[in-house]
Amino acid sequence: MIEVALRKTLPGFTLDVAWAAGDEVVTLFGPSGAGKSLTLQCLAGFTRPDAGRVVVNGRVFDDSAAGIHLPPQARHLGYVFQGYALFPHLTVAENVAFGLRGHPGAGRRRRTAEVLTQLALGDLAGRFPRELSGGQQQRVALGRAIAPDPAVLLLDEPLSALDAPLRRQLREELRALVVGLQRTVVLVTHDLGEAYQLGDRLVLYEAGRVVQAGPKAEVLGRPASETVARLIGLRNVVRGTVVKTAPDRVEIAWRGHTVEAVNSPTAPFQTAPGTSVAFVVRPEHVRLIRKDRVSPDPGPRMNLLRGEIVEAIDHGTSWTLLFRIAAPGPPSQGAYDLEIEVPHLVYEILDIGRDREWEVSMHRGALQVLAGV
């Protein structure tokens, strides 16, 4: 269990954050310069916060009010640096054993052997870092950090030194390793896919502040504000004007049309008509209405909009369609209003490359109204 409340002021930047986590992988996610690595440095004791309190498993590491600041060596934390920072003149086994200096010789050798086996590094024990692949170097750095059995493991962009294909390959392996530790792991990344795959809990940083924190499915599925939605890279974050709210739905004027979104039964959205609001349209939930099939019961077709595909982007297995809505009044400020995601097969079957004029339908559940700014 870790409880964090930190304030640190540097020239032109102030970190002011608070969050907590249990025996899980908590991911600090946000753009570069948001304060994630500075938080890790404060947790490790490399940087002293100006104010605040850090408590790990009931043990106080920092408490500005009480004048407590434990040095790094007294915190019993594991730290994996960006780029790994392996000692080039030491072998794999010696790098792993470095974290055990001060332990009795027999115990040190036994624990080193355990870690080498755990991370499948036994056959590489006598090699030097320059003789290892990027993935192998990462495992050695992890081994050095976990060898002393730390209370908390800190990982600063652990995959950033790898090229993209290898990074994707090693995510699953790293996830299995950190989950197997059964303790608090704090991981810093600015890669959302990495944050989602490796973490259990997300803490979203922006400009030195926490803008949302919680279980990853909750944060990504229900962003707390327009700021959070844009931070996590959601597409189709747009603004409209409230027409009416009801217990089960919200009606919004947008681009000359009125669309409906589901109102949350647990935390219902309520605001006065005429208020400007942001909402998200999930691109994979927008349906193109087929023109070659007539059915006596076409099913519910909510939020029908007519318009034009102004551009189609091929991603190999799927296409992104940039859709401009036909609307009265002035044209949209941008070149398009919606991104629509369709599988490659659907693109071919509907012959979208030839026909650019379409009607689309969006179930009200695909529209999510956002609170805040």
pLDDT along the chain (373 residues), means of 10: 95 96 92 93 95 95 95 91 86 90 84 89 92 86 88 85 65 75 87 86 95 91 88 91 90 93 72 88 90 54 89 94 84 80 93 91 89 64
- Residue 89's domain comprises 2-222
Contact 210, 222 (CB under 8 A): no
Residue at which a domain ends, from 178, 197, 222: 222
Q: Is residue 287 part of a domain?
A: yes
Let me know whether 51 and 123 are in one domain: yes
pLDDT at 146: 87
Which pair of tokens denotes residue 327? Answer: 């609307």
Count of domains forming the chain: 2
Asked whether residue 82 is assigned to any structural domain, the reply reads yes
- Does one domain contain both 146 and 24? yes
Q: Helices 105-118 and 134-146 meet at what angle, rounded to 10?
A: 140
Residues 154 and 98 in one domain: yes
Assess whether 166 and 285 both reside in one domain: no
pTM above 0.85, yes or no: no
> Closest Cα partner for 235 from 281, 276, 192, 197?
281
- Under 8 Å CB-to-CB from 204, ≥6 apart: which residues? 29, 30, 210, 211, 212, 213, 219, 228, 231, 232
pLDDT of 167 reads 67
